[in-house]
Structure 1
Amino acid sequence: DSVGILFENPKKNITYDRFIVQPVREITDFLKNNKSENRFLFISANKGPFIFRKYMEAKYLAEKITKRQNKNNLIVYPGLVFDSAKTSSIVITLPLRILSHIPLLNKVIIGYLPIKRVTLAKEISKIIDGGQSIYTKRR
């Protein structure tokens, strides 16, 4: 699921640890324990503003776990992922998409630029097939 959580809700057990870190631990442990030659692809985040500090810390921890398990695992660094199926994701990305058309501001927000889920899926497919993508490095 590339349209994940941005905000925790501990009362509903929606935490960064539960939705970001723990799944990565379980997958990488499975691959390690089964001596699998398969690689894992983790969808991280390119950047996050200060208000998402805990979110980014969870992403960084998941990246470390991913790399430690297998140096050939892949990490993708998109901006904010959105999809029409998740209306809230469109609302959150709207200001960024508007700002991206303003010449001086577009350089400031380039690391946060939203990407459609279907577009990200195509980039991931290209990466898996060995192609180049701007999403394999932080911008």
Structure 2
Amino acid sequence: PPNIKWDQKKKKKLIIISAIDNIDTTCTHTKNEINPWWRLDLMDNYYISTVTITNRADCCPERLDGAEIHIGNSLENNGNNNPTHCGALFHSTLIGCEMIGRYVNIIVPGDRYLTLCEVEVYRGFPGNSRCM
């Protein structure tokens, strides 16, 4: 299946992309940790017009409070040092980005969980956007 990756070192399957499976009722989350983050590698540079983040509907919406979206080409600090666009605060948030980059990171500052149910990245110019 497309949402499972074989980890050769740990010899087990890891569910790694529940947040980009087009099913907003399946979610991925981190452990409770300091500054948890999630990264999408677009494999090339794109003009990103919009990012849509879908949060959990059944509980814990506060897990995305203060979330930051970072977009750029650097993997310094796991990509979290790329420029920040803005925060996500609600169940499903549409955020106009208008930035160029390969990596899309979502990070929540502090000691907490990061939960994502769906992340959609749109490229192109306003009026000509396309989901990636």
| Alignment TM-score, normalising by the size of structure 2 | 0.28
Structure number, greater radius of gyration: 1
More helix by share: 1
| Alignment TM-score, normalising by the size of structure 1 | 0.27
Which structure is higher in RCO with an 8 Å CA cutoff and minimum separation 6? 2
More strand by share: 2
